[in-house]
Structure 1
Amino acid sequence: MVQYLNPPLDLSFAALSDATRRGIIDQLGRGDASITSLADQFRMTLTGMKKHIQVLERAGLVITRKVGRVRTCTLGKRGLAAEAEWIEAHRKLFEARFDALDEIISEMKREESDDSAR
């Protein structure tokens, strides 16, 4: 099996595969939040939220900083440009293949129509 090595993409897509983590990204897009407030909002334990935040931090999607006793989360600076670029390239590939398939189906229908007219 061929394996492609792109750890940043792997970490990002793994982090974003979870609905709670996507929700955290959405929430942080509206503004910074403490881990405690995120845990409350998502109705989960502080320990559970910390684990989600760690996954997002490893992927570079979230940054945390400690001020006093509060750990505040913000969106990471790198964004999702590489992920969007990968998705767009593959979207174009699928689109081209579906266009080719449409052409084959159209050709088969024309041939079938010609055969039935004879």
Structure 2
Amino acid sequence: MTGGLLAGLLLSAGSFGGDGKQPQVTLRMHTRHEQLLRWVTEQVPGSRLYGPYHHGGRSYFQWMARGDALVHGLLPLLEETLVPELDPPAHERLTDMTSRYAEAIARSKARPR
């Protein structure tokens, strides 16, 4: 259930991208979801929760997974769960990210843990 809940959150509200050097997955939610985002942070060791931010009349937290937290902790779950049959647009976003950052992902996988 834990993996399914996490995958569902990211499928529906997650952003799959990067900073030009490494891939990252981002989840931005209203401050009323702080408890849920703290739980997400616990589920993916090494991920980070930033905020709260107050901007443009909105109050939100931003959760991010990148580096080893993404490659070793989150990516295996996403690749298993976000299949094209479930949600083609989410699968495409994930595939685009992993293709664009294939070298960075390979380097992270090759490093000893």
Instruction: Give me the TM-score of the superposition, normalised by structure 1.
Output: 0.34
Q: Whose helix fraction is larger, Structure 1's or Structure 2's?
A: 1
Determine which structure has more spread, i.e. the larger CA radius of gyration: 1
Q: Whose strand fraction is larger, Structure 1's or Structure 2's?
A: 2
Instruction: Give me the TM-score of the superposition, normalised by structure 2.
Output: 0.35
Higher relative contact order (CA 8 A, sep 6+): 2
